[in-house]
Amino acid sequence: MTDIDAQGGEADTPAEIAPEIAPETLFDTLLTRSHEQLVLHPTRESYSALLATLHAAGYHSVIDLCGVDYLTNDSRQLPADIEPERFEVVVNLINHRERARLRLRVQVPEADAVVPSAFNLYPGTEAMERETFDMFGITFEGHPDLTRILMPEDWIGHPLRKDYDSGRIPVQFKGAPANR
C-alpha cells in the first residue's frame, strides 16, 4: 500500500512538468483549484449558460460578485485555454444543500468591458453588479438599473481601476470650491 502511494507520489512530480494532462473540468467548464477552493473559468459567452446550469444544480445564491483589475499583475494562474484579459469578474456561489462553494472567474477585455448580467437568475447580484460597474466600469448587459451605487452619480472615472490615481487628495464634496 505504502509502496504504491510512494510511486504515485513520485509520478506526481514529473506530471506537473509535463503539460499533457487533460485539463480538469466541472459542469463542462475548466476547473482549477486555489487553496482547496474550486474555481471555474467560463468564457463570457458560456457564463450565462453556466449560471443556469449551476442554479439548476442547487447553487441557489450568488454570495459575492466583484471585479479585479489585473493591469499590473502578471502572476495569476489561469488554465492554458483561457486568454488572460485586463479585468476579471469573480462570482462566488454557494450550494446550501451540499455545503459547497464555487467561484467563477470571467475574463473581461478592456476594449469591450461587457458581461451578461446575472440579475434574472440571481436578483441578489443587483447591488453587487452596480458596485462592480461603479468601481471598474464593467457594464452588465441586461441589468435593470446600472447606475453608480457608492460614488456620486457625476463622478468621473472608476476608482478601483489600477490606472486610477490614488493618493491623498482633498475630499471632493459636491459644490465645494475646488483647490481648497
Partner 1 sequence: MTATHELPANVNQTSEGGQELTSAGVVAAGERLRELGAVLRMSENDAIVAEREQVPDDETMIINMGPQHPSTHGVLRLMLELQGETVLRCKPIIGYLHTGMERTGEELTYLQGPTNVTRMDYAAPLFTELAFSLTVEKLLEIEVPERAIWIRMLMTEMNRISSHLLFMATNGMDLGAVSMMLYGWREREEALRFLQEVTGLRMNHNFIRPGGVAADLPDGWRDSVLRLLDMLPGRLAEYDTLLNQQPIFRERLQGVGAITAEECLALGVTGPILRSTGYDWDLRRDMPYLAFDQVEFDVVVGSYGDCFDRYAIRLAEIHESMKIVRQCLEKMPKGDYRIQDKKVTPPPRARIDESMEALIHHFKIFTEGFKVPEGEAYVSIESPRGELGCYIVSDGSSKPYRMHVRAPSFVNLQSLPHLMHGSLVADAVAIISSVDPILGEVDR
Enumerate binding residues for partner 1 (CB under 8 A).
34-35, 37, 60-64, 66, 68-69, 72-73, 75-77, 90, 92, 96, 99, 101, 103, 119-120, 122-128, 131, 135, 144-145, 147-154, 159-160, 166, 174-175
DSSP string covering 100-160, please? EEEEEEEEE-STT-EEE--TTT-TTHHHHHHHHHHHH--EEET-TT---SSS-TT--S-TT
State which residue, 29 or 92, has the beta carbon closest to partner 1: 92
Closest distance to partner 1 from the beta carbon of 8 (Å)? 22
State which residue, 7 or 34, has the beta carbon closest to partner 1: 34
Q: What are the percentages of helix, strand and coil residues in the chain, rounded to 5?
A: 25, 25, 50
Closest distance to partner 1 from the beta carbon of 78 (Å)? 11
Which set of grid coordinates corresponds to residue 123? 436578483
The rounded distance, in Å, linking the Cα atoms of 91 and 103 is 6
| End-to-end CA gap in the chain | 75
State which residue, 13 or 72, has the beta carbon closest to partner 1: 72
Q: Distance of alpha carbon 62 from its chain centroid, rounded?
A: 12
State which residue, 29 or 125, has the beta carbon closest to partner 1: 125
Closest distance to partner 1 from the beta carbon of 42 (Å)? 16
State which residue, 6 or 150, has the beta carbon closest to partner 1: 150
Tally of CB atoms within 10 A around 100: 13
Closest distance to partner 1 from the beta carbon of 144 (Å)? 6
* SS3 category, 65: strand
State which residue, 7 or 110, has the beta carbon closest to partner 1: 110
**What is residue 67's DSSP assignment?**
E
Closest distance to partner 1 from the beta carbon of 96 (Å)? 6
Closest distance to partner 1 from the beta carbon of 106 (Å)? 14
